[in-house]
Amino acid sequence: MSKKKYLFVFGTRPEAIKMAPVIRLFKNQPQFDTQVCVTAQHREMLDQVLDFFGIKPDFDLDVMKKGQGLVSLSSAILDGLKEVFQQAKPDAIFVQGDTTTSTIGALAAFYSGIKVYHIEAGLRTLNRFSPYPEEVNRQVTARLADLHFAPTITAKNNLLDEGIEPDKIWVTGNTVIDALLSGIELLEDYSSPEIEQLTSSLNPSKKLILVTGHRRESFGDGFKKICIALKKIAQRSDLQIVYPVHLNPKVQEPVYSILGDVENVLLMEPLGYPEFIWLMQHSYLVLTDSGGIQEEAPSLGKPVLVMRDHTERMEAIEAGTAELVGTNPSLITQSVERLLNNEALYRERSAKKNPFGDGKASMQILEILTGKKV
């Protein structure tokens, strides 16, 4: 019998982190022929993850352009994948999450008569513009996918509500926890110039607030308000803010111009995955609009303040590990102050169980495809 051919298609940092544990596992299965295609929707931030996990793509579309728009990005991916599919001839492709790469990858596969397996299926806000364009991306991918690997029961129920057949949906947990646990293990005897540099620039007697942000719906006014809030928070002498700034020029510009010279604020380039985990471990709380960080932080006992108006990760809000604070400077400042000043509240928020998985999601996906999980 010929081997099943699987092609993993991804393009951005979070997709790479969340695909890596699954790719590693599938590459070790002699019954499968497993290949990797990166669109390189991200370049430097993707390569950081590929290097760390030792993934060597079989195909690289290298589509990233500085300040790229959604339409030109989509058409470059759609065109590029047509040729890759003709060469690789996969039985199925895996896509992850809700980026342009995942949705356009799913569309290209559907048009080419190739099956689509969707990892991290079923997340919803039901608001088409928040997050934009991710909410529509993931709804479209659900229409195109043949199998849906939902991280939680809530995600499964969202798919059932949209009429997806129950026997096509599997609840697996989120593969980001698999990646995180392998990163934590590695950090036990790991060092790097970036970690040494951070260790010497950080003051261990000050509480560390870790910040990230990149959502399109916050470009312009939203990012200005976030930076104003951070400037205000940085006036406290008992804390320090560390902010690895996303490479999108629409993020870099406001962040460096408003926070570039502010005392207690350390701006830096995006960090490699182990370095970022190290920073999360050393932080007091995390202020972010990131999806992946909302999922990772509870495993490290770090409360998250989510700088967005809506989240598709309601499990974290319900579990009490995350709080929605939007981009309003006074709401952000008050929520940070509350966690800094109220020890009991902080302890409660940091001692919650992670609702997103136990680190076995990749194995579950493998067992589903080998018929071992029924």
How far is residue 141's CA from residue 117's CA, in Å, rounded to a whole number? 10
Residue choice 36, 45, 159, 211 for contact with ligand UD1 (CB under 6 A): 45
Residue choice 296, 309, 312, 315 for contact with ligand UDP (CB under 6 A): 296
Shortest gap between Cβ of 251 and ligand UD1 (angstroms)? 7
298 binds ligand UDP, rule: CB under 6 A: no
Q: What is the largest CA-CA distance in the chain?
A: 67
Element (H, E) at 255: helix 249-259
Note if 367 is an active site residue.
no
247 binds, among ligand UD1, ligand UDP, none (CB under 5 to 8 A by kind): ligand UD1
Tokens of 46: 């993707």
Residue choice 149, 273, 284, 356 for contact with ligand UDP (CB under 6 A): 273
Beta strand pairing status for 115-119 and 92-96?
parallel
Strands across the sheet containing 32-38: 59-60, 32-38, 4-10, 92-96, 115-119, 147-150, 169-171
Listed ranges 83-91, 268-276, 347-355, 358-366: which one lies at the site for ligand UDP (CB under 6 A): 268-276
Shortest gap between Cβ of 41 and ligand UD1 (angstroms)? 5
118 binds, among ligand UD1, ligand UDP, none (CB under 5 to 8 A by kind): none
How far is residue 20's CA from residue 132's CA, in Å, rounded to a whole number? 25
Is the Cβ–Cβ distance between 184 and 155 less than 8 Å? Answer: no
> Of 270, 212, 255, 308, nearest to 13 (Cα)?
270
233 binds, among ligand UD1, ligand UDP, none (CB under 5 to 8 A by kind): none
> Of 158, 143, 129, 165, nearest to 309 (Cα)?
129
Q: Which of residues 210-229 bind ligand UD1 (CB under 6 A)?
A: 214
Q: Which is nearer to ligand UD1, 54 or 67 (CB)?
A: 67
Q: Which is nearer to ligand UDP, 93 or 176 (CB)?
A: 176
67 binds ligand UD1, rule: CB under 6 A: yes
* Complete DSSP assignment for 87-144: HH--SEEEEETTSHHHHHHHHHHHHTT-EEEEES-----S-TTTTTTHHHHHHHHHHH
Residue choice 244, 254, 303, 357 for contact with ligand UDP (CB under 6 A): 244
273 binds, among ligand UD1, ligand UDP, none (CB under 5 to 8 A by kind): ligand UDP
How far is residue 54's CA from residue 44's CA, in Å, rounded to a whole number? 15
Q: 13, 138, 215, 246: which is the annotated catalytic residue?
A: 246
Binding site for ligand UDP (CB under 6 A): 13-14, 17, 176, 212, 214, 244, 270-271, 273, 276, 290-293, 296
